A and B are shown apart, each in its own frame.
Chain A
Amino acid sequence: MSAPGGQLDDRAILDPAHAPPFPAAALTVLRDPQLRKNVAHATDVIQAKRALLVAEKTDWQELRSAASRIKEEALDHLGAYLKQFEERCTAAGGTVHWAADAAEARRIILEILREEKAEEVIKIKTMTSAEIQLNPFLEAAGIRAHETDLAEIILQLGKGEPSHIVVPALHVNRSQVREVFARRMGIEDLSDDPQALTAAARGFLRRKFLTVPMAISGANFLIAETGAVVVVESEGNGRMCLTLPRTLITLAGIEKVLPRFADLEVMLQLLARSATGERMNPYTSLWTGVRADDGPQRFHVVLLDNGRSSILARRTGRQTLKCIRCAACMNACPVYRQTGGHAYGSVYPGPIGAILTPQLEQMQHAQSLPYASSLCGACYEVCPVKINIPEVLLELRARVTDQERRQARRIFDPLYIGLRVANLLFSRAWLFHAAQWAGRIGLRFFTGKDGWIHRLPGVGAKWTQTRDLRGLPRQTFHAWWTGRRQAIGNRH
């Protein structure tokens, strides 16, 4: 499946400003049976493990309610909690920076790296850094960024793009990984056994961990009460990056703040079970500023807005910011399970991506995403912080429609002509009856003997291309009802 040179042949565009609309991007994936098989397998495995562990937790719904309220409360007082975090983190020896947008975050990080005369930097998996497209920016500035999470190494060495926020390389299978590692690490006789592949990654990175003095991480939680940062991981690459380098930079979205240390008693019970189907992930690290004899002696936190505060201002949309990035919604989503992540044209795929990306882009890009859903509600049901994703999807669809119908080029768009006509018909009873009458006569020519319409001309073909339409019945309900009442009246 891999292209020559150990590249994963999936050069997806994950920049919402340039990605093709969802239906177009999804089409290439739907024609790739291998990729669909890989995605289906991975999501099936996580879903089954998650379901078992959620079922054994008798207080799951109470935990969800508490988590939802904790995040709501944090968002209600976001400004105050961020200031509290800043004050306490600073008091503990950290430096807090504020970035209004992606460009500013990149600039701040580059300035720190330049001050430290860094030539390379080791990184813990952080979707936020992918959101601001940090790696290509650092590369262009002459600083090599080494990803250290196994999935991220696969993608970095194979020049692939993430398709999931917890298991970013879930669309790649073992033989593809083998090919990428064999070529890029120069190991001739590498087997495709995951054990051997994992060992290869361990050997490949060991020296980097011990020698590179700079690291970049994301954050799962920021604790306002103490100024602490929490990172949740499995492999130990996180602990390496958080502990061994001289300087650590943490990039965190402003919505990551939790009011209190004790709020973790709820979040940590929900996160691993939802994300990977484990009772607890192997390693969770919490640190507060710097400590003289333990860990990095210089510590920076970059608080990133990049569109988040505009989401906070929306009554329905703001619940999007409760997300703790567990990815349960994408594993459960019947659309994601068919298309995989790249079709969403953003580093945030799946149902959460479908609501997060258009809002982060301030409705300037990714307008096809709110439609990339069947509104079945599976995402809402599994969400550990109770984000009502279907509700937000509907609100975003309304906003997209409001935006579109004001555009001059949409005046002659058949969809909007149809909607304007419908608006007219539905508001006048006599017009509605006339239209029904005309429709019954007109559609008779296209209705088959089985009572179904299989093919329509013109714009109507857009419907019948993919599904049949039931022919109109001889009688409307209204006519039947009137006739019935007359018949009963006659009997008396």
Chain B
Amino acid sequence: MSGIIDSRERVLGRIRAAARNFAAADPQPAAKDAQELAGADAAIPRRYARSGRLSAEARMALMAERLREYGAEVAVCKPEELAAAITQQIAASGRRIFVAPPGIPVAWRVEVANKIKGFECSFDHGLQIGEIEQAEGVMTAAFCGIADSGTIVLHHSASEGRRMLTLLPDWHLCILKASQVVETLPEYFDRCPQPPALVTWISGPSATADIEMTRIQGVHGPRFLNVILADDRGKEPAVH
């Protein structure tokens, strides 16, 4: 593999040589990388919108509208009605075989299990691909919602599930609280003090426009995305 190690030096050497053409970019050739990169961020002009302007109510309405525009189903409910809303969504979907991440609140599934005949939910304590693929639906929480683009963000915690859990079943029910919804994308980044190691940003069900630019919903990912927005404003302090 010695040739490969040489390549690293070769590529980095060429990049160094290119930098020498621009004196300003390379003040001290011997500078350590960390020194070189310190404060580089300050030079970026960040005059774009970094916070939202909508009221909490308008933000929720925008989130619902943008989700629907991309073909997601949205139901809004009060926090105390959440279990009922979940039950209703699952009953209406006609789907009974579910998977879910182990960390979702117990309350979310008790009522469903009691009220819907034949409802089965396997919790993902290391389920096999085949078992997840057999499921008709999946139910998860989310890390954040971004109203401006109707985006749901998963950081794949214990209540959001492993990545394949929200990928293989055809129907994804995602429960999002109003306090988790921000208006703009930069506000989501403000909510990540530490950069996450795994992220999936989901905006509507899977789709393609590869044939004559006709948008077709449902390719390889879930063909259906249902979102329940639990309006918990007043219960938790809204984040500004």
Instruction: Give the B-binding residues of A (Cβ under 8 A).
Output: 38, 41-42, 45-46, 58-59, 62-63, 65-66, 69-70, 73, 76-84, 92, 97-100, 104, 108, 148-151, 154, 167, 169-170, 173-174, 177, 194-195, 197-198, 201-202, 205-206, 209-210, 223, 225-226, 228, 234-237, 239-240, 242-244, 254, 259-262, 264-266, 268-269, 276, 278-289, 291, 293-295, 303, 305, 309-310, 312-313, 315, 318
Q: Is the CB of B11 within 8 A of A303?
A: yes
Q: Is B151 an interface residue (CB 8 A)?
A: yes
Residues of B with C-beta under 8 A to A205: 220
Task: Report the Cα distance A98→B129, complex, angstroms.
Answer: 33
Q: Is the CB of B210 within 8 A of A167?
A: yes
Task: Report the Cα distance A240→B219, complex, angstroms.
Answer: 11
Which chain A residue lies CB-closest to B44?
A: A69
A147 CB, min distance to chain B CBs, angstroms: 12
**With contacts A167-B213, A243-B167, A295-B163 known, is A228 near B197, CB below 8 A?**
yes
Q: Which of B75-83, B92-100, B184-192 contacts A (4 or more CB under 8 A)?
A: B184-192
- Main SS class of interface, B: mixed
**With contacts A149-B210, A303-B11 known, is A81 near B219, CB below 8 A?**
no
Instruction: Give the A-binding residues of B (Cβ under 8 A).
Output: 3-4, 7-8, 10-12, 14-19, 21-22, 25, 33, 36-37, 40-41, 43-49, 66, 70, 126, 129-130, 133, 146, 148-151, 156, 162-164, 167, 185-186, 188-189, 192, 195-214, 216, 218-222
Q: Is the CB of B211 within 8 A of A197?
A: yes
Contact of A194 among B48, B200, B214 (CB under 8 A): B214
Q: Is the CB of B220 within 8 A of A237?
A: yes
Q: Is the CB of A198 within 8 A of B211?
A: yes
Residues of A with C-beta under 8 A to B222: 236
**With contacts A284-B200, A286-B198, A305-B14 known, is A259 near B37, CB below 8 A?**
yes
Contact of A265 among B17, B18, B185 (CB under 8 A): B185
Q: Is the CB of A235 within 8 A of B8?
A: no
Task: Report the Cα distance A150→B213, complex, angstroms.
Answer: 12
Which chain A residue lies CB-closest to B164?
A: A243
Which chain A residue lies CB-closest to B148?
A: A279
Q: Is the CB of A288 within 8 A of B198?
A: yes
Residues of B with C-beta under 8 A to A98: 4, 7-8, 10-11
Q: Is the CB of A293 within 8 A of B162?
A: yes
Q: Is the CB of B44 within 8 A of A78?
A: no
Which chain A residue lies CB-closest to B213?
A: A45
Q: Is the CB of A266 within 8 A of B197?
A: no
Task: Report the Cα distance A259→B4, complex, angstroms.
Answer: 25
Known: A98-B7, A150-B210, A240-B167. 11 other contacts (CB 8 A): A45-B213, A65-B45, A80-B33, A83-B12, A236-B206, A261-B192, A281-B203, A283-B206, A312-B19, A313-B21, A318-B18
